[in-house]
Amino acid sequence: MQTPLLLLGASIIFWGWHINLLIISMLLGIALEAVKISKFSIEINDVVFDRVSDITTILNIAFLLFIFFTNTFEETWIITYIKWLPLLFFPIIFFQILSDRRKIPFSSLFYTQRKKRSKDYQESEIDFSFYYVAICLLSASASNVESIAFYSGAAILILYGLFPSRSDRFHITHWLGLVVLIVSAGYLGHIILSKTQLKLETVVEEIFLELFGDEPDPFFRQTKIGSIGEMKLSGKIVYRVKSDKPMLLRRAVFDQYNNRAWYASVKGWNNISADKSNLYLIKKTETVGNKISIYGNNKHDELLLIHPNGSIAYKGLTVDRLDKNLLGTIKVIKKPGYLYYNVEYKEKETTPPSKETKDTLLRKTEKNIFPEFIGKYRLNDLSPQEVILKLKHIFANEYQYTLDYRVIDSKAHPLADFLYNNKAGHCEYYATVTVLILRSLGIPARYVSGYSLSEYDSAKNLYLVRERHAHAWATVWVNGQWIDVDTTPAIWHHY
């Protein structure tokens, strides 16, 4: 089994084209093919191959550790590693092509096999070039650039590689006819596969939610930022709320963004005990606040209570324990079953940002996204309240709401792609960019997930909270209080 002429060079150039290293890959590809065509070779013994293999191993390990611990890349570390494999394994293929035997000893690749060399051992050799072609194809796929060019290029390379091994029992036209058939079938197949996966995920998610309920993690919230395809939301009622006005009810608050997910940096909880009248007092105030009543059901022993911003007391709860963290998330331990409680609130949360919370943290990868936006709208010249109003205005008039997200530029950061290219997204995008833009301006801000009260049942005088009313927004520290800032275009209520 030998690689046909130019396959190796074409594969590495195909890879370089997909991960934006075209010039380098062309140089490497030309170097490989030039050595092959010229039949230039030098004598390379087993020891040299051993050293090349060892160097390749060290390079791979070092690179793996680097990407795993520094986490400077947008995609997962394994995808990053796969992308760079052709470069990491280039020394092996280059020395193979350069050597006079055009193969490498099998034992050079595996340290345990080298021990056998001292005895009467029949050394076997392998041709690494086909494996290298496969590495180039798989690495190119990790670029994730959706276009017909990838499929076409991969098909050409694979079929060209298989051309020499075709059976001479069948005429070339027969073979070509089959090529047309299987390329078409493969193309159709991958479209169906892609759509099937999205459909399957949605179905499984619905079944899972139905069986186990969606009890969120107070320390972690995975967003759908960067995911393509349509978000499907259920109409299942999760709460009924007695309130005199629509409002946002928060469930969990997060302060740290990393790789499309929000995290709570604070891990500790403060226990709050009930008094004799079963009142859980969160904050002592002199004046009485507004009240709402919440009716629901819990499937798990532990749940996060939904509540409005500025809540000061809870009454009517029959729970074993109530805890609150520094970000304002409320967690209770309660037997599964019927849930009812009243919340008294003041509409403003005055607990200032603490040293432990990361309300102004902005990572390097996100820092570079917003200056252009801030400069364009001159947000630097505005006060915090003016910035908030301006952002609401920009997103309401120049942006759109959609549940069917499409990536415009797959090489760009998903938030940048939303902000500058797409200009359409769901609430997680709006909440995330609002928090991060405000932090860029030095204004403390947090990410909140919860529900929006918008559907009023006049017959029962209650607001119905459905799963599709799940929402995300920002909460901002302005003038000595935390205020909720919802920049998602209002049209989202109609979805």
Partner 1 sequence: MFQRLLFPFYSLFSTLNYRFSLRFTQEGKFCSGLLFASAVIGIDTRQTLAYQIFTLLLAIFLCSFFYSLFFRGNFRVKRTLPQYATAGKTFTYKIDIETLGNKQEKGLEIIEVLRDQRPTLNEFLNRKEPDEQQRNIFDRIFLFYRWVWLMNKNSLGINPKPQAVALLPGNVITVSFEVTASLRGKLEFQGIYIARKDPFGLFRALIKISQVQSMLVLPERFIVPNIPMSGGRKDQLGGVTLASSVGDSEEFYSMRDYVHGDPVRNIDWKSWAKTGKPIIREYQEEFFSRKALILDTYSGEKGEKNFEIAVSIAASYVVSIEDQESLLDLMFVEEDVYCFTSGRNTAHKSNALELLAGVVPSNNTAFPLLSGSVKKRSSILNGIICVFSHWDKERKELIQFLQSSGSPLKVFLVVEEDEKNKIDSKGLNITIIGNNSIRECLLNK
Determine if 371 is a binding residue for partner 1 (CB under 8 A). Answer: no
| Interface residue with partner 1, options 63, 66, 94, 175 (CB under 8 A) | 175
The span of 9-17, 206-214, 222-230, 473-481 binding partner 1 (CB under 8 A) equals 222-230
Determine if 155 is a binding residue for partner 1 (CB under 8 A). Answer: yes
Nearer Cβ to partner 1 (4/371): 4
Residue with tokens 């409320």: 330
The span of 38-46, 145-153, 239-247, 256-264 binding partner 1 (CB under 8 A) equals 145-153
Query: How far apart, in whole angstroms, are the C-alpha atoms of residue 306 and residue 326?
Result: 16
Determine if 173 is a binding residue for partner 1 (CB under 8 A). Answer: no
Query: How far apart, in whole angstroms, are the C-alpha atoms of residue 177 and residue 166?
Result: 13
Q: 446: closest CA among 209, 247, 264, 201?
A: 264
Neighbours of 358 (CB within 10 A): 20
Cβ at position 314, least distance to partner 1 in Å: 41
| Interface residue with partner 1, options 181, 203, 288, 490 (CB under 8 A) | 181
Residue 399, SS3?
coil
The span of 28-36, 103-111, 168-176, 209-217 binding partner 1 (CB under 8 A) equals 168-176
Determine if 48 is a binding residue for partner 1 (CB under 8 A). Answer: no
Largest CA distance in the chain: 94
Determine if 75 is a binding residue for partner 1 (CB under 8 A). Answer: yes
DSSP track, 410-450: TTS-HHHIIIIII-EE-HHHHHHHHHHHHHHTT--EEEEEE
| Interface residue with partner 1, options 4, 186, 235, 375 (CB under 8 A) | 186
Size of the site for partner 1 (CB under 8 A): 47
Nearer Cβ to partner 1 (3/329): 3
Nearer Cβ to partner 1 (83/471): 83
Determine if 166 is a binding residue for partner 1 (CB under 8 A). Answer: yes
| Interface residue with partner 1, options 190, 199, 300, 460 (CB under 8 A) | 190
Cβ at position 339, least distance to partner 1 in Å: 36
The set of residues, in sequence order, having a beta carbon less than 8 Å from that of 8 and lying 6+ positions away, is: 29, 32, 33, 36, 93, 97, 129, 132, 133
Cβ at position 142, least distance to partner 1 in Å: 5
The span of 62-70, 143-151, 453-461, 474-482 binding partner 1 (CB under 8 A) equals 143-151
DSSP track, 52-100: HHHHHHHHHHHHHHHHHHH--SSS-HHHHHHHTHHHHTHHHHHHHHHBT
Determine if 178 is a binding residue for partner 1 (CB under 8 A). Answer: yes
Q: What is the spatial order of strands in the sheet that 220-222 belongs to?
A: 220-222, 261-263, 256-258
**Please, are residues 14 and 140 in contact by the beta-carbon 8 Å criterion?**
yes
**Can you count the helices (H) and strands (E) in the chain?**
16, 25
Cβ at position 207, least distance to partner 1 in Å: 19
For residue 343, with 0-12 CB atoms within 10 Å meaning exposed, 13-18 middle and 19 or more buried, which class applies? Answer: buried
Determine if 375 is a binding residue for partner 1 (CB under 8 A). Answer: no
Determine if 193 is a binding residue for partner 1 (CB under 8 A). Answer: yes
Determine if 413 is a binding residue for partner 1 (CB under 8 A). Answer: no
Query: How far apart, in whole angstroms, are the C-alpha atoms of residue 286 and residue 275?
Result: 18
| Interface residue with partner 1, options 228, 261, 288, 490 (CB under 8 A) | 228
Determine if 116 is a binding residue for partner 1 (CB under 8 A). Answer: no
Nearer Cβ to partner 1 (70/165): 165
The span of 148-156, 242-250, 269-277, 323-331 binding partner 1 (CB under 8 A) equals 148-156
| Interface residue with partner 1, options 8, 10, 21, 82 (CB under 8 A) | 82
Nearer Cβ to partner 1 (230/320): 230
First to last CA, the chain: 58
Determine if 167 is a binding residue for partner 1 (CB under 8 A). Answer: yes
Cβ at position 227, least distance to partner 1 in Å: 6
Q: Find how far residue 384's CA is from the centre of its chain.
A: 30
Q: Is the dihedral of CA 340, 344, 346, 351 positive or negative?
A: negative
Cβ at position 151, least distance to partner 1 in Å: 5
Residue 168: which region, alpha, beta or left (left: phi > 0; alpha: psi -120 to 50)?
A: alpha
Nearer Cβ to partner 1 (132/473): 132
**Please, are residues 150 and 187 in contact by the beta-carbon 8 Å criterion?**
no
- Both tokens of 271, joined, read 């226990």
The span of 22-30, 227-235, 320-328, 348-356 binding partner 1 (CB under 8 A) equals 227-235
Q: Which residues make up the interface to partner 1 (CB under 8 A)?
A: 1, 75-76, 79, 82, 119, 130, 134, 137-138, 140-146, 150-151, 154-155, 158, 162, 165-170, 174-175, 178, 181-183, 185-187, 189-190, 193-194, 197-198, 227-229
